[in-house]
Chains A and B, each alone.
Chain A
Amino acid sequence: MKFDFLRPAIVAAVGILAVASSSSAQENFPSKPITILVGFSAGSSTDVASRLLADSMGEILGERVLVENRPGAASNVATQAVAEADADGYTLLMGTVANTINTGLKRDVSFDFPGDFTPVSTVGAVPMILVARADLGVSTIDELLAKMKESDDPLLYGSAGVGTAPHLSAELFASSTGTQVTHVPYKGSGDAVRDLAAGRIDFVFAPQSSALSAISEGSIVPLASSLLKRSSKLPDTPTVDETAVKGFDTSVWFGLVAPAGTPETVIAKLNDAVQKALASETVSKGFANSGIEKLGGTPAELAEYINTEVSNWAKVAEDANITVE
């Protein structure tokens, strides 16, 4: 109570300091904890990768880097929150393939991805594995295509849900090979793989992390992987690109982005921290064990990658006639 008279003076002093320090704020970055928002719940590949990265970035930057899960609406809840956040580098988004698909599907949202964001760095990607049920009797992608063409009913493929990377990858695969398929949506790839292993559906494009267990057990058969490069976990499995569809390149990728207007020096510091974190042993080992391929690179590279992805997915959605409105 009796210090009330001091309050205006303190406010004024803080104000002056704030103005004076705003230019040096960028050099002192970070001077408080940084939060990375993740649009998926804990335990997802994106979440695990974010937590590993954040842990290591914290050590490098000398400030804590926190991960906050804001799941909902295929990561749009988190994306909207970051789009509306201060562009000071303290609130970041782990952008993913879902963001570019959402833009491609033209969901009605109040923000613009990628327009409202500044890329920081690509982080990693989980390849999807084209897996078939064991009793379908196919062991290569060509045999699957033959099966698809001779079957009376279109084959059934499972996915993690409408508008997910596994869904659109399978549609891209079908339209590129001129085959007919029927979509069976699940809540997440784990459920789809479980039904595949039980022989209820015919094939799935499953993120490697969800498929490895059933593959090693032999209840599902890996036919191809979805990145241009073979998966380091399944070196004997060819890529879709080298077998059936030239140029086929999809994955569950993720990269760090900041709100548009974040100062360049801050972005540079963050990018530097990401590269160093990716080189650290904990992150390398954690990524490798979890089946995440390590990426990284400059902000410009991520920007270009995002633009390519957005136009690719928009085309897939159009070709497969997928509308969500």
Chain B
Amino acid sequence: MSDVLSNLAHGFSVALAPEMLFLCIAGATIGMAIGVLPGVGALATISILLPFTFHLEPTGAIIMLAGIFYGAQYGGSVASILLNLPGTASTAVTALDGYPLTKKGKAGVALFVTTIVSFAGGSFAILVMIFLAPYLASIAREFGSTEYFSVMLLALIAASTLAPGSALKGLAMVIFGLLLGTVGADSTTGYYRYTFGNLELVDGLNLIAVVMGLFGVSEIIANLVSGSDSRQEGGTVSLKSMIPSRREMSRTVGPTGRGSVVGVIVGILPGLGPQVASFIAYALEKKASKTPERFGEGMIEGISAPEAANNASVQAAFIPTLTLGIPGDAVMAVMVGALMLHGILPGPSLVVEQADLFWGLIASFWIGNVILLILNIPLIGVWLQVLRIPYRILYPAILMLTCIGVYSIRNSGFDVAIVLIFGLVGHGMSLLRLPAAPVLLGLVLGPLFEDHLRRALIIGRGDPVIFLQSPISLGALLIAASLLAWIGFRSISNILSRKKKPEGT
């Protein structure tokens, strides 16, 4: 314990040196700014800035790159709450209840809450990292394809009731998402599926392009079709109107705690990413809530849980990256690349041999999060002004930013076309009252699901018994089965009680 504290104190002495402090602030601020821009991701920014780090000291380099990564999570929710324009799949979950809050005139409160819970989620993950990193890292090892498959199955069942309204429509849209997820090269055989000779489709549909089409562009089309400016007048924005009431604040505590725990667990497991954390946290909150039917209408709980989860998960993602040398996603792979360039090998020895770097980085996380908190609160007032911009100016600007953002992900004009196509698909879906979030769920989980199932079966030499032999997998399958049984039981008892009281609906 005292060891940890003295290490941490040492870390702060590293991270508070003027140069490090500057790099930390610069990274976090750049990250937040690009996070606000729809579609412009941390990955594109970090790769552009990578050459600058060739000439930096490795600790400073990684502090700055990390700042961009977690900073982007803070900015990401702004556009999804205000304009229903999520820049990533994880903030699409925040939009589910965030945008209805804006429509109710509570955008200020929503932004305030997301800033606070982002800070709470991030801080929780940092605490976990300080005290438990070495123990938690080994959890990542326990998860093979068998375990991933069963946990994905559980997540898919648990989250299938994600969207409000008809369960059947929700299920149909999950399946639509799963089908979209089959586009691209078959990872087991290398055959191209549904690519129609287009090389851009070989790696599958670009998730972010689909998100921006289904949510943002379809929202713009819907507003153009209705032709009227349906928004509430922003009015004057005082600090008071942004501060949530005591009741609203107390409603965020439980979701934030649960979301943070979900985020840390998902963050530690390589390959899942913040979007899976957001989906699971939202689904869990809905299950835990006494009023699940009100999710999607602007519940504070519905923005707190996923925002805490995605911030916790990006911080926790550093645990396997630094202590095992396992990069969990593309951004982490760049971080590992940047470290190796300077001759530093991430792995178990890093914590001991590069104590300056490890503890300095952790200290910088906290400094960065505090700076982001301080920066974001006053900015809420600025963001709210966006709502007062007339549609005729706002929409062309958003469309342009969307195109630039999506193009920047992998310099692909084709992806911009995908945004447009899914904008039309999304508009068609909203006319038919089909929910969009389950499509994303299917598209995010589907490819993971398929890969892990097939890989687990190859490793198990074709015998499905392997799913029952691993305790983690068996546990997840049992929970999934009981969840299904519970859903079935509930719907049967609903039908029965309806028969008894035909007058009630």
The interface of chain A, by Cβ under 8 A from chain B, is: 41-45, 47-48, 51-52, 54-55, 68-74, 76-77, 80, 105, 108-109, 153, 156, 161-163, 182-187, 190-191, 194-195, 197-198, 200-201, 209, 212-214, 216-217, 282, 285-286, 288-291, 322, 324-325
Contact = CB atoms under 8 A, between A and B. Distances in A.
Contacts of B187: 161-162, 185, 187
Interface in B195-245: 197, 199-200, 202-203
Contact of B54 (A80, A194, A282, A324): A282
Contact of B345 (A42, A153, A216): A216
B330 A70 contact: no
Given A48-B337, A108-B197, A185-B455, 18 more contacts: A42-B46, A42-B50, A48-B341, A52-B54, A52-B341, A69-B47, A69-B411, A70-B411, A73-B185, A74-B202, A77-B200, A77-B202, A185-B187, A190-B327, A191-B270, A197-B141, A216-B347, A325-B191
B141 A324 contact: no
Contacts of A209: 340
A161 B187 CA distance: 7
A316 to B, nearest CB: 14
Given A200-B459, A214-B325, A289 B342 contact: yes
Contact of B50 (A51, A73, A289, A291): A51
B354 to A, nearest CB: 13
A73 B347 contact: no
B504 interface: no
Contact of B325 (A73, A183, A213): A213
Contacts, number: 149
Contacts of A184: 455, 458-459
Contacts of A183: 458
A214 B326 CA distance: 9
Interface in B329-385: 330, 333-338, 340-343, 345-349
Given A72-B410, A290-B341, A198 B333 contact: no
Given A72-B412, A184-B458, A184-B459, A41 B343 contact: no
Interface of B: 43, 46-47, 50-51, 54-55, 140-142, 144-145, 185, 187-192, 197, 199-200, 202-203, 270-271, 324-327, 330, 333-338, 340-343, 345-349, 410-412, 451, 455, 458-459, 461
Contact of B348 (A109, A161, A217): A217
Determine which residue in A80, A162, A288, A291 has the highest number of CB atoms from chain B within 10 A of its CB, and name it.
A162
Determine which residue in A73, A163, A324 has the highest number of CB atoms from chain B within 10 A of its CB, and name it.
A73
A43 B42 CA distance: 13
A153 B12 CA distance: 54
Given A162-B190, A324-B191, A55 B144 contact: no
B330 A42 contact: yes
A212 B330 CA distance: 19
A71 B408 CA distance: 12
B190 A324 contact: yes
Nearest to A218: B348
